[in-house]
Amino acid sequence: MKNTTSLNEYRADLHIHTVVSPCADVEMIPPLIVSAALDRGIDIIAITDHNSVANVGAVQRAALGTRLTVIPGMEVQTSEDVHVICLFEELEQAKKWGQIVNEHLPSINNNPDFFGEQFIVDETGDFIASENRLLLTAISMSFEQTYQAVRELGGLFIPAHVNRKAFGLIESLGFVPSDTPINTLEISRHISPEEAKKQFPQIKEFQLIQNGDVHYLADFLGALCFQIEYPSLSEIKMAFNHEKGRKYYII
Ligand SMILES: [Zn+2]
Ligand SMILES: [Zn+2]
């Protein structure tokens, strides 16, 4: 089919934590995240904190005027202890999702000495508040309920690091449930897609992506490349669905 749109190549890392994730390094503040991504030649990042969207807007503001696109997202922990990356087109949709997660998050206080601090910051990285509820825990929504709710908000739902024993889909559920029609899974950075498919035959029909799961500034991977018209979630969705010449690959 003739394609008249001009497509460009963009490097992406769609799994980045900030200081509101208790396990993220204290240097994971908006201006340092933006400069570290740009230094690595990355054009698109997604902010995916554990069960929180509190720092997404600050990273977007820190990236204003640069060539970096910041996609709003979250790494949610479903009731089965499966980690899923949820990505949204607009901050407003991510905030709506954040509200739903907030309502389904158990009231357990964070113990910063044990889990780490959960800092909400502004675009310069200055402290605004501490999130007192523990974010690194399961919400009371199942994998399927989470899938439905994210889809209703127009979001993209990608099970995270599916090959990992801790919080990976295969260890927790054993397979991809047939009532969640997804085509893309994330594998961790320490295994090749070929090796992952060999080890886990139940994912061999899926397309696999790799991100940095960035908790430290040195973790940016940028191995995911998109051939798309412009950097946005709608174009990324088209690439995952192989629409109108859009595609992705891992370098
Ligand atoms: Zn995770
Ligand atoms: Zn993560």
3, part of any domain = no
Tens digit of pLDDT for each residue in 72-128? 999 999 999 999 999 999 999 999 999 999 999 999 999 999 999 999 999 999 999
Whether pLDDT at 3 is above 70: no
> What tokens appear for 86 in the block?
């949820």
pLDDT of residue 72: 98
Mean pLDDT of the chain: 96
Q: Which ligand is nearest to the CA of 78?
A: 1
Q: Which tokens belong to 92?
A: 């407003």
- The CA R_g of the chain, rounded to the nearest whole Å, is 17
Confidence of residue 140 (pLDDT cuts 50, 70, 90): very high
120 touches 45 (CB < 8 A)? no
pLDDT of 176 = 86
pLDDT at 102: 97
Q: How many CA atoms lie within 13 A of 113 on its CB side?
A: 0
pLDDT mean over 9-14: 98
Residue with tokens 């040195």: 218
In the sheet where 224-228 sits, what is the strand order?
156-159, 83-87, 69-77, 44-47, 8-16, 224-228, 247-250
| Total number of domains in the chain | 1
d(CA 59, CA 31): 7
**Domain presence at residue 1:** no
Compute the distance from residue 231 Cα to the ligand 1 centre, in Å. Answer: 24
Asked if the structure places residue 175 within a domain, the reply is yes
Q: Which one of the ligands is nearest to 21 CA?
A: 2
Confidence of residue 175 (pLDDT cuts 50, 70, 90): confident
| 21 within domain boundaries | yes
Distance 130 CA to ligand 2 centre (A): 20
Domain limits for position 127: 8-250
| Ligand 1 center from residue 160 Cα (angstroms) | 6
Residue 137 Cα, ligand 2 centroid: separation in angstroms? 13
Q: What per-residue confidence (pLDDT) applies to 4?
A: 63
Q: Give the ligand whose atoms come closest to the C-alpha of residue 24.
A: 2
What's the confidence (pLDDT) of residue 2? Answer: 54
* Centroid of ligand 2 to alpha carbon of 218 (angstroms): 15
CATH number for the domain spanning 205: value is 3.20.20.140
Contact of 54 with 86, CB cutoff 8 Å: no
d(CA 50, CA 22): 8
pLDDT tens sequence across 191-232: 999 999 999 999 999 999 999 999 999 999 999 999 999 999
85 found inside a domain: yes
Mutual angle of helices 143-152 and 91-103, in 10-degree steps = 150
CA of 214 to the centre of ligand 2 (A): 7
Entry pTM: 0.96
pLDDT for 1 equals 54
Measured in angstroms, how far is the CA atom of residue 157 from the centroid of ligand 1? 14
Q: Whose CA is closest to 231, among 211, 214, 246, 241?
A: 246
The torsion defined by the Cα of 205, 182, 190 and 246, in degrees rounded to 10, comes to 90
Q: How far is the CA of 233 from the centre of ligand 1 (A)?
A: 21
Instruction: Please report whether residue 13 resides in a domain.
Output: yes
The pLDDT assigned to 5 comes to 77
Q: Given this model, what pLDDT does residue 193 score?
A: 93
Q: Is residue 2 part of a domain?
A: no
Establish if 130 belongs to a structural domain: yes
- As a whole number of angstroms, the distance between CA 245 and CA 147 comes to 27
Position 21 pLDDT exceeds 70: yes
